[in-house]
Structure 1
Amino acid sequence: MLVPPVVPEGYNAGRNVSVRERLRPDFDALGVRVGSFVILPEVETGVGATSNTYLSTTDEVASPFAYLRGVVAMRSNWSRHSLRLSGEGEARRFIGQSARNEDRLKVSAIGQLDATTHLTVQGSVAGDLDFENPFSGEALPVAAAVSRYRRITGSLTGRYTAGRVRGTWIVDRTSLSFQPLALRSGNFRDQSDRDRGVSRATVQFEYAQTPSLAFMGQISYSRTGFERPLASGAPNRDSNGLRILGGVNFDLAGRVRGTIGVGYTRRNYLAPLYPDAQGISVESRLEFFLTELTTVTVSSQRVLEDSQIGGDGSYWDSRSTLSVDHELLKNLILSASGQVVKQNYVVSSRRSESLRVAASARYLSSRRIEVNGSLSYGERTLTTNAPSTEIRELRMQVGAKLKL
């Protein structure tokens, strides 16, 4: 999602450790110490192949690709307060299909001030250049596959904890700017009418009934403003949004931890061209600890998203995900996941269904060397008044990572 919903993860009370979270002292990178900071650089390179380079419904083109990714993170090692700076870049080249080449870049900074024993304040800012997810519902898959955007985000979070009560407030701003769409014909399509800013304010309150169980309530207000009208001259999709959630956070030692939130959301559009939308909203994530070596995660979500397809103003995105992480050896982690997504557009009869499954393995050879591989399959069916269209992609890749 271009603008993911805000749900502070408060369920982790430190009673469980997942396979992904577990420290592996014999294989974790030591980094380079500079004063009171630790610098963690890494470089990864690999090759792979896709069965449908442009995610087209017809005329599928398969191609191999190669990628190079670099990451550097710097984190503080202070007794109080914290600061983390990071940057990463990735170049992916599709052999013989240069129009599909991808260049990604991201920089971020997160700082936390421990004001008192009860109050912490965290600020973050990030900027990235990326490509749209073709399995999202905001744009048609063939366009999203080569649609590049710039995103700048900033947020300020305050958290106050006293006894059984914890309050969290968040204000955040996301600015999106879309680059001209490079078509396979060599021409370009302007996407500037998709440029927008989203401002939000969120307040969450939690009350701990027991050390393992807390009840929570959340209210969030958002304002979406587009920079210019649609290319057709019609008014754009400026709107105000409200979401209210209620639920529970829990962390039961050796069993399960998670958050379950259910509530209501509403989107009011300023232009009468787009009807208002409202309905049930869901945010949940559960982690089951079958053994110390196996973690099963189940999550579900139902949120209202902006659409740029036809005359639709918004669509409901409902998704369920199941993933399993297993530590076969201390240095060999196997993962598998599956996700089902349904997207219902508010104005039209357009519907979209997606299925994605994936399997991966990480082999930690030493502190400095990691080998990984993945295999994934995705399909999306888009139904309108016309016959349905379907896309499929099978992708695999293997890579090696060097860490310091």
Structure 2
Amino acid sequence: MRILTTAAVAAALMAAVPAVSVAQDLGSNFKRDKNTSVRQRPRPDYEAVGMKAGGFTLYPRVTVEAVNDDNIYAVATGEQSDAIWRVKPEVAARSNWSRNALGAFASASVNRYSDFDTENSEEYTLGLNGRLDVERGTYISASAQWQNLVEPRSAITAGTPAGATAKPVEYYLWSENLTAVKEFNRLRLTGKLDAKKFDYDDQGGAFNQNTRDRDEFYYGGKAEYALSPDTAIFASLVGNTKSYDVDTLGRLASPGVTAIVANRARDSEGYVASVGANFDLSQSVRGEVEAGYMEQTYDHYADLDGFNAKGRVEWFPTELTTLNVAASRSIEDSVAANSGGYIANSASVGIDHELMRNVLLSASASYGKDKYAFIDRDDKRTGFNATGTYLLNRNVGLFLTYTYLKQDSSGAAKASSFSDNKIAASVALQF
């Protein structure tokens, strides 16, 4: 929040509560700060000073953005283009205490279309987080966040065909988190509880969004053992329960059975068990990788299980360049008829380069493939993003971003296929 970074990072910060810094022990075996990425590198001449308010510092920021989108409804034929204007004000507050921490965050995004005003929307986020330092190597952190969001027309999670609803789908999301960490020299234990509540605005008729309202609860723990100060292995187990508010029709789990049932058909419970390692080796590679088994059991839909994997590795060929590779395989909930979920596979590669101290170049490419349970549907998504950042001083930054997204859906129950190009120019002011 204190530095004008790339537009992609700025967008992510706008949508999330800023994490309070975790108390660090200089003697910890779990620090992973031997290498510093281009995005993480401090730039004192371009960091906001903030405004002192007692034991807190306030960091106000506003971004004005102009976007040209050549397919605003994300459709295969009859594409419509438009110019979109966005104003994104935000403010973060962080404590200046030597022990414990408290932070708060508020943001908004006002989106206005030049020609298609039915797409106009506003989004809001409010968040609060904190950390209690119990003793050396032991702390408890908590966060709560409320958001009023708009689902992109191109979202794979959209409950209707792309562009079918009269206006974008809006929803509320409440999120709470509680984390406890205890470090015993070479052993670190982490326990986490996460709760989410989704509440969608109904658009009536065939586009009833209330069937997507749900509560999700995640619980689990992680045990890490440090083989050395720069490498640790771990085991993780995370369970979940998902409960929907409205009955939906669902097909019984056996593909040979045609009976239709209700009874909260999309309700489910599951878990992910994995082992892995995190590392920060020499002056060149940092990352975390894990693999294991996942399972999701639905009340009245076909169950899903299989190999689970997740990882992200950063390579630092020079101090001015960072390369990163990420991949994951997970189970996600579906909104498609007769299918409770799908196996999501994704991979991405990206590069960040510091051309000058105040000129940053970034690019990334991604690929995703989703296989749905029970129904005949496969989705493939290809994406590309490139961003140029010019930091004028500690208060002003300029950004230019190009984004490409292509979706190919196949099978008897296929969704929309489309491609979309966006060019965005923005200016950010911070104090």
Indicate whether the TM-score tops 0.5: yes
SS state at 2:33 partner = coil
| 2:182 corresponds to | 160
Q: Deviations over 1:12-59 (max 9, x none)?
A: 521111111111100100010111111000111121210001111221
| 1:225 corresponds to | 243
* Aligned-residue offset at 1:99: 1.8
| 2:156 corresponds to | 136
- The alignment status of 1:316 with 2:316, answered yes or no, reads no
Q: More displaced, 281-290 or 188-197?
A: 188-197
Preserved CA contact (<8 Å) 2:65 2:425: yes
- The alignment status of 1:239 with 2:268, answered yes or no, reads yes
Preserved CA contact (<8 Å) 1:138 1:307: no
* Aligned-residue offset at 1:94: 1.3
- The alignment status of 1:207 with 2:225, answered yes or no, reads yes
- The alignment status of 1:113 with 2:141, answered yes or no, reads no
1:265 to 283, 287, 294: 294
* Aligned-residue offset at 1:304: 0.2
Q: Distance in 1 between matches of 2:413 and 2:330?
A: 26
SS state at 1:193 partner = helix
Preserved CA contact (<8 Å) 2:378 2:414: no
- Unmatched tracts of structure 2, length 5 or more: 1-14, 16-21, 23-28, 251-260
* Aligned-residue offset at 1:243: 0.8
Q: Distance in 1 between matches of 2:337 and 2:346?
A: 23
* CA distance 1:114–1:249, shift in 2 (3 Å): same
* Aligned-residue offset at 1:102: 2.8
Preserved CA contact (<8 Å) 2:31 2:230: no
1:180 to 202, 215, 231: 202
| 1:305 corresponds to | 332
Q: Distance in 1 between matches of 2:111 and 2:197?
A: 25
* CA distance 1:30–1:102, shift in 2 (3 Å): same
| 1:5 corresponds to | none
Preserved CA contact (<8 Å) 1:45 1:401: yes
Q: Deviations over 1:121-151 (max 9, x none)?
A: 0000011111224243454443598222111
* Aligned-residue offset at 1:179: 1.1
* Aligned-residue offset at 1:91: 0.8
SS state at 2:163 partner = helix
1:216 to 197, 219, 234: 234
* CA distance 1:345–1:188, shift in 2 (3 Å): closer
SS state at 2:211 partner = helix
* Aligned-residue offset at 1:242: 1.1
* CA distance 1:387–1:221, shift in 2 (3 Å): closer
Percent pairwise identity: 27
Preserved CA contact (<8 Å) 2:376 2:414: no
- The alignment status of 1:340 with 2:367, answered yes or no, reads yes
Amino acid at match of 2:282: A
Preserved CA contact (<8 Å) 1:364 1:370: yes
SS state at 2:428 partner = strand
Q: Distance in 2 between matches of 1:143 and 1:127?
A: 27
Q: TM-score, normalised by structure 2?
A: 0.87
Amino acid at match of 1:220: V
Preserved CA contact (<8 Å) 2:162 2:416: no
* Aligned-residue offset at 1:351: 0.3
* CA distance 1:87–1:388, shift in 2 (3 Å): closer
Q: Distance in 1 between matches of 2:203 and 2:95?
A: 40
Q: Distance in 1 between matches of 2:232 and 2:279?
A: 6
* CA distance 1:114–1:311, shift in 2 (3 Å): same
Pairing of 1:247-258 with structure 2 (within 5 A): 247-258=276-287
Q: Distance in 2 between matches of 1:103 and 1:48?
A: 16
Q: Distance in 2 between matches of 1:114 and 1:227?
A: 38
Q: Deviations over 1:247-302 (max 9, x none)?
A: 1111113111111100101111123xx12111111110111111111111110011
| 1:6 corresponds to | none
Pairing of 1:3-402 with structure 2 (within 5 A): 13-133=32-152, 134-137=154-157, 139=159, 140-142=161-163, 146-181=168-203, 189-230=207-248, 234-235=262-263, 236-271=265-300, 274-385=301-412, 389-402=416-429
Alignment: residue pair count: 391
Q: Deviations over 1:207-262 (max 9, x none)?
A: 00111111010001100000110279833300111110111111113111111100
* CA distance 1:388–1:160, shift in 2 (3 Å): closer
Amino acid at match of 1:234: A
Q: Which has the higher strand share?
A: 1
Amino acid at match of 1:161: E
SS state at 1:347 partner = coil
Preserved CA contact (<8 Å) 1:135 1:354: no
Preserved CA contact (<8 Å) 2:88 2:109: yes
* CA distance 1:120–1:386, shift in 2 (3 Å): closer
Preserved CA contact (<8 Å) 1:167 1:206: yes
